[in-house]
Structure 1
Amino acid sequence: MFSLCQRLEPQEDRLCRQCMPAFNHPRTGSTSCGAFPEGGLLVNERGRMMKVILVGAMLLVTFVYLYSLNGQHIPSNGDEYPYMHITRMTAQSGALLPLQSDLVDMRNTKPPMLFWQGIASTGWGQHWTQWRLRWPSVAYTLLTGLMVYLVASKLRGPKAGLAGFLGYVIFISTYRYGRPFLTDPGLVFWLTLPCFVLLYYRSTIINSRWIYPLLAGLALGIGFLYKSFILALPVGATLGWWYWRERKYSLVEFIKRDSWKLILMMGVGLGLFSLWFVFDPDPGSIVREFIFKENIGKMGKGNYLVNLLWGDSTVWSLAIEFMLGTGLLIVPTVTMMYRAFRERRSAGSEERMLWIWILTFFLVFTIPSQRSARYLLPVTPALAVLLGLYWDRIPYWAYRIALVLAGLFIGGVTYSCFRLANYAGASEMYPSYVWLILIVSIAVTVVALVRTRWMRGLVPVSLLLVYPCLTAFFHPLEHEPGRYPEDVIEQVRGREVWVTHNFNAKYERYRFLLPGADIHGYRAGDKLGPEELKSRYEYVGICCKMTDPAPTNGCTVLGSRLDVRTRHSGREIKEILFENRLDHLFVKEYLVRSSR
């Protein structure tokens, strides 16, 4: 679809050179060269084609982001489980505040907006599914991508807009943090909205006295309620720099005409955030757990300068992690940055504002001792817009590298699916549509590599299809082999069931595997053996190696399922790669009822 857009541009340029008068005056009649009976026909046809391409791109992206959204094994972050726990406990309390949690010092780990979002999407916990919890995140991500399209289209036409939109959803940071039940999708949307509005309507918004500052403050306040009031610093600095630049860097003019607008914006945003303290019946806990532990605690101790330049959380690692967040687009992104630096003197005002946005966030988030590229997620839409603006100027060799990496990954996943199906002796382990996804992905990648004319257009499609290929590999674990049968679910409904976990509240995922059961967790690090587990708990999940026998002594095995094994020794990795020991990839979990 994107390749069609690539092919439209040269034709338009050629016809414009031949028929310029008619394009400038579409109502004056036929063109001088006779290429079209009416000058506006090509424009209208191209506009319709772009709409078709955009709809097709949106459908493809929607499929990729919704595919297996209810799954247990999508790329995510461990924070999702504590957030689910707090949402469920708060919903059960019947009140929006105070937030509820059984986790030590993790009741007010984040502001309440995400938890309220989860309460709304699940109907106060009555429809407790991962799909219900996650779909608002996907909606936020797609709306942010749509804003990227609109801004890039305004700056350099719909082709740049489409490239920016697809680039944004291809970023691994977007895919990883933009689908699960996390704070990031809502945060990125609400912080991006006022910035993109100012970019889009710069000539009028910049002089808005009340409407824009008030509405921007409300949007920022909602964003702060997803993450933290600390974000007022980078956002305020970005908008302040933009206003100051519009006043030709005249400090007097900036203070006189714009400083009060920033004060109004930040005042409204922080005022909206402060309502959390007003309506929560226990504001002291918020101060202890959120202000001091979650925010001020990240300043850390020790030699600040040493930690800034050397160690595990340096300014260099922050920059590298930010670039790695672009995923398979890292080489095109690096070349885009190099080209933008070389052509910086000819950059337009909006492009310079986008770089200011990225630079400001980067500088601000080098201040905490705990530096993470996740703090820079709010500037990935700006990076995507820049990528769209430079898409046609990125050299082909950069795209070839991206395609080769995608091809190697897709090929590796396809080979792994074949190996797993053969190892299990079940060809039906993967349904036909999974193989279709893999075959289409390989075909698109090969065509993009061999047809240079289509390369720029097919690169986004190929890289985007990497994600459903990855999800396809885990298909068996999202269906019968990785799930408990319905009769087992009914047997433990309303019972206390103890399951293993290796991260805070990770046992929450069993509420989707065993709906209706009263789930509790025991630490995997305690290294309790089957006999000890059966002596402690009546209903318990016991994980065993694939080659180990079922723990049938002194208990009744109700059911079993496959799960992914997360830690492997060097010897086991070699055996997986070279000796077809795929049993090392999985564990078998038995749900048993002990006879204690």
Structure 2
Amino acid sequence: MSSQQQPKTRMPGHLLWLALALVVALGYLFQLGGDHIPRNGDELVYAHIARLTAESGHWLPLVSSYDFMRNTKPPLLFWQAMLAGGWGDHWTLLNLRLPSVVYIWATALMAGLLTWKIVRTGGNTAGAQPNHQATVMGAIAAIVFLSFFSTYRYGRPYLTSAPETFWLCGVFFALAWSPSQLLASRWKFPLVAGVAIGIGCLYKSFAMVAPVGLGLALCYQVLHARKAPWQVFRRGIVFDGFKVAAICAIALAVFGLWFAVDPLPGEVWREFVVGENAGKFKSSPGYLKQAFSGSGGILTILTGYFVNAGLLFPLSVGCVWTAWRSYRLRRGTAQTISDGEKVLWLWLLALALVFMLPDQRSARYLIPAMPAVAVLIALYWERIARIWFSLTLLFCLLGAMAMGLIAYGAVRATQDLGAYSPLFWLLLLLTAIACVFGFAKKEAARPMTAIAGFAVLFALAWTTAPFNGALGHFRPETIAKMKGQQISVPNNFNGQFERYQFLLPGAKIVAYDAPQPVDYTDAEVQVLFKTSRYALVARRAGQAPCAQCRIIDVRWDVRSRQDPKEGTWAAITSPETFWYAKEYLVERP
């Protein structure tokens, strides 16, 4: 018998990357039902409309307390919440947000599979197991997409970003999977694509037909006809144009079902079509002045994909730079990028061009193409220069330090040394070590970047975790006492008052305008008592809620929309008052 020991088996590298992608995806569930996850204030507007519509017992018309925020989005978004919340029987933030996370998971899976397909068929894999290399790149694409700040901020809350991204980007992912076959399809692909785009429009807006239609037209021109975009006088242009028009018409027909089934189609036209969409083309200072201004100008769109990447900003810039250099080196040679990759670039171009046109511009409008950005980063992963990974690791290191500062502010504010578990501080330490290790070791820069990006986002969720628990809630006996009682609550953004439906379920919520709730004066609080017996009053730590009132209960809150007069420096020097406040439930004496 041979005395030679058998080598220890290790998990293959491609399985480790798949496991990491799965862990990152499951990380999206952490604190999902909390009141303080990274989000946009519009979530509460949509939750308000969905709740009142559910209480009406009808699918349509949409119901709201305010006329100016009723038909703000098509009904599919609200129907989704009504079903997820059991028509009000299970009305929790967790239930409302779960469908968004499922959409994000599905989109990440699409990004991973498309990357695997392009790498596997592109002949760029090396070694005896090219399928394993393609699997690694697919896992990286999914991780990168889930590590974008825009994905994390707008993909988890109850918003439109996750569904519209899935349906609209899915059409181009299908094209990138099999460009020649689908572009040659006479009616099957146009029909399916039209329905998919229509569903996306029923989540967001009929206006999404414009960028998708332009993107499809570019694909038919560049990939099907093999012509430059400006060479429109060619054979087959009429038939290809007819297919694009048919896809757009089908999508608009699906969206038009809203008008067919809504009892008040005139209100839909006035509030949604004219107010919500056409209003974005009105500019008081003038179109050109607005277009080239610093805020809301076309630069917002030109840098939008990089901004949406968040901490991966340098990596996304490095991807574009590497792709441009590769293009310059290929000019005049027989080498070319795959048709699948071309589809992704055309989708990025079309979305950016269309959203330069309205007067109202935002990087959020480019979110439906962020999965394509993740795929492209994965495709160029090994060719992106180390400097871009080093800069990304620097961003992540600064992000980890910022999370530590915010958590330190929470400890100082609450005077609770046990507010965070040792695991939280260990996470920050390991993230910082990973960033430094990536700096020092050339071969570690890429894997450490993939790990650090999402680690900081996870730490961000963890910083608010104590305030999603007992510290941020009223006592159960207080909640029971307030059922059926009218309570005046502060509101500093459209629909922000809706959060109290989850904090004080069963209470009658009445909003009062308070752009800076912590600065609401005692005299103003006394005015509230003329119409309500109970009120919620926010104060900085150490400040009394009001001179003549009785405190029933108190909770800690994470502040939003700080006063610009406080300055960014206050976030560093006094994080305990910049980020946190106490909210008192008081009653008149």
The aligned residue for residue 66 of structure 2 is 103
Aligned equivalent of 1:235, options 184, 191, 212: 212
The aligned residue for residue 180 of structure 2 is 203
What is the alpha-carbon distance in structure 2 between the residues aligned to residue 384 and residue 573 of structure 1? 31
- The offset of 1:442, in angstroms, is 3.0
User: What are the residue-to-residue correspondences of 1:4-153 with 2, within 5 Å?
Assistant: 49=12, 52-153=15-116
- The TM-score with structure 2 as length reference comes to 0.88
What is the alpha-carbon distance in structure 2 between the residues aligned to residue 576 and residue 182 of structure 1? 28
Q: Secondary structure at 2:493's aligned position in 1?
A: coil
CA change 1:176–1:573 in 2 (3 A) is closer
CA change 1:585–1:350 in 2 (3 A) is closer
The aligned residue for residue 439 of structure 1 is 429
User: What are the residue-to-residue correspondences of 1:470-489 with 2, within 5 Å?
Assistant: 470-489=460-479
CA change 1:412–1:373 in 2 (3 A) is closer
Contact 1:539 1:592 in 2 (8 A): yes
Aligned equivalent of 1:565, options 532, 551, 559: 559
In the alignment, does 2:145 pair up with 1:182? no
Aligned equivalent of 1:357, options 317, 335, 347: 347
What is the alpha-carbon distance in structure 2 between the residues aligned to residue 573 and residue 149 of structure 1? 38
| Counterpart AA for 1:320 | T
Aligned equivalent of 1:395, options 370, 382, 385: 385
* Structure 1 unmatched ranges of 5 or more: 1-44
Contact 1:546 1:584 in 2 (8 A): no
| Counterpart AA for 2:393 | L
- The offset of 1:342, in angstroms, is 2.0
Contact 1:572 1:584 in 2 (8 A): no
What is the alpha-carbon distance in structure 1 between the residues aligned to residue 92 and residue 68 of structure 2? 26
| Counterpart AA for 1:504 | N
CA change 1:253–1:104 in 2 (3 A) is same
The aligned residue for residue 246 of structure 2 is 264
What per-residue deviation string (whole Å, max 9, x for no partner) do you get for residues 352-402 of structure 1?
222121111111111111111211111111111111111111111111111
What is the alpha-carbon distance in structure 2 between the residues aligned to residue 256 and residue 423 of structure 1? 67
In the alignment, does 2:527 pair up with 1:537? no
CA change 1:561–1:306 in 2 (3 A) is same
CA change 1:352–1:110 in 2 (3 A) is same
What is the alpha-carbon distance in structure 1 between the residues aligned to residue 31 and residue 206 of structure 2? 34
The aligned residue for residue 593 of structure 1 is 587
Contact 2:541 2:582 in 1 (8 A): yes
User: What are the residue-to-residue correspondences of 1:295-374 with 2, within 5 Å?
Assistant: 295-302=277-284, 303-310=286-293, 312-344=295-327, 345=331, 346-374=336-364
CA change 1:123–1:380 in 2 (3 A) is same
- The offset of 1:498, in angstroms, is 1.4
In the alignment, does 2:417 pair up with 1:427? yes
CA change 1:109–1:584 in 2 (3 A) is closer
- The TM-score with structure 1 as length reference comes to 0.87
CA change 1:51–1:120 in 2 (3 A) is farther
What is the alpha-carbon distance in structure 2 between the residues aligned to residue 165 and residue 255 of structure 1? 36
The aligned residue for residue 20 of structure 1 is none
What is the alpha-carbon distance in structure 2 between the residues aligned to residue 454 and residue 411 of structure 1? 21
Aligned-pair identity in percent equals 35
Q: CA RMSD in A?
A: 2.3
Contact 2:197 2:251 in 1 (8 A): yes
Aligned equivalent of 1:508, options 480, 498, 520: 498
* Structure 2 unmatched ranges of 5 or more: 1-8, 120-133
Contact 2:406 2:575 in 1 (8 A): no
Q: Secondary structure at 1:313's aligned position in 2?
A: coil
| Counterpart AA for 1:295 | N
What per-residue deviation string (whole Å, max 9, x for no partner) do you get for residues 308-354 of structure 1?
22353211232123321111111121122112112224333322222
- The offset of 1:427, in angstroms, is 2.0
Contact 1:331 1:398 in 2 (8 A): yes
The aligned residue for residue 379 of structure 1 is 369
Contact 2:487 2:510 in 1 (8 A): yes
- The offset of 1:439, in angstroms, is 3.4
The aligned residue for residue 162 of structure 1 is 139
Contact 1:150 1:161 in 2 (8 A): yes
What is the alpha-carbon distance in structure 2 between the residues aligned to residue 544 and residue 227 of structure 1? 37
What is the alpha-carbon distance in structure 2 between the residues aligned to residue 532 and residue 505 of structure 1? 22
Aligned equivalent of 2:225, options 247, 250, 255: 247
What is the alpha-carbon distance in structure 2 between the residues aligned to residue 500 and residue 423 of structure 1? 21
Contact 1:547 1:583 in 2 (8 A): no
What is the alpha-carbon distance in structure 1 between the residues aligned to residue 298 and residue 405 of structure 2? 39
Q: Secondary structure at 1:215's aligned position in 2?
A: helix
| Counterpart AA for 2:241 | S
- The offset of 1:408, in angstroms, is 2.0
What is the alpha-carbon distance in structure 1 between the residues aligned to residue 314 and residue 575 of structure 2? 34
CA change 1:422–1:206 in 2 (3 A) is same
What per-residue deviation string (whole Å, max 9, x for no partner) do you get for residues 505-560 of structure 1?
1010011111121212111149453322233311211122322225363x432200
